[in-house]
Amino acid sequence: MTRHQDDDEGALVAALRAGEAAAYEKLVRGYGPRLLATARRILRDAALAEDCLQETFLKAFDKIDGFEGRSALGTWLHSILVNQSLMKLRKNKRERHEQIDDLMPQFDSNACRIEAPWSYLATPDELLERDQTRALVQSKIDQLPESYRIVLQLRDIEEFDTETVAAMLDITPGAAKVRLHRARAALKVLLEPLLRGEGPL
């Protein structure tokens, strides 16, 4: 982040703390679009995402005095949003998820990996030129247990770094890495037919 942005952000936070109406509006208009997009991707439901955005800002207005500036304002807002989203997901329990243990890599008694040869591995361009691929991949990500899916979503799709993801979820970076790795490994198994070019999943 540039110095200029830092100054802007500092001024905005000060104005929010002072209760200036224009500052609240600037916060909503400035940070709202990206937050709304993230909420839509996590919740997969436009109406729930809008509710979540509203709750996020109300919480942020309420807690702005506690914002210590250790992370960027946008990251702080995302942390609130992610936690609000997770509460919503828990309330709206969705379809049954896969058991993560069933999707972990397999090893033989010598600690050697069991992995069928990959004579063909489809490229992203090949896969994504078909319209239905995105929906298929999204539905496979949805099958991951929530605590794993959220880490994969924040790291590989929203592209926050692992430290930030850990801070957002209030877990250690080590725990975040374990979950991320297991989520990717499980998703690899779920996507195997697609990646091997074996037609619809």
Partner 1 sequence: MTSIWTRMMETMKGIMLNRMPGMITCMEFEEFLIDYMEGELPAGQRRVFELHIKVCRECRDYMAAYKRTIEVSGRAFEDQTAAVPAEVPEDLVQAILEARRS
Residue number, 68 or 125, with CB nearest to partner 1: 125
Closest to 13 measured CA to CA, from 80, 63, 79, 81: 63
- The half-sphere exposure of 149 on its side-chain side, counting CA atoms within 13 A, is 21
Burial of 31: CB neighbours in 10 Å, binned 0-12, 13-18, 19+: buried
CA separation for the pair 10, 2 (Å, rounded): 12
Separation of alpha carbons 144 and 152, rounded Å: 10
Of 9, 40, 83, 97, the one binding partner 1 by CB under 8 A: 40
Residues from 140 through 169 that contact partner 1 (CB under 8 A): 141, 152, 156-157, 159, 162
Binding track over 94-113 against partner 1, x by CB under 8 A = -----------x-xx-xxxx
Neighbours of 76 (CB within 10 A): 22
Does position 200 interact with partner 1 (CB under 8 A)? The reply is no
* Backbone angles phi and psi of 106, in degrees to 5: -110, 140
Q: Which of 15, 72, 137, 201 binds partner 1 (CB under 8 A)?
A: 137
Q: Binding residues for partner 1, per CB under 8 A?
A: 21, 24-25, 28-29, 32-34, 36-37, 40-41, 50, 53-54, 57-58, 61, 105, 107-108, 110-115, 117-118, 121-124, 127-128, 133-134, 137-138, 141, 152, 156-157, 159, 162, 177-178, 180-181, 184-185, 187-188, 191-192, 194-195
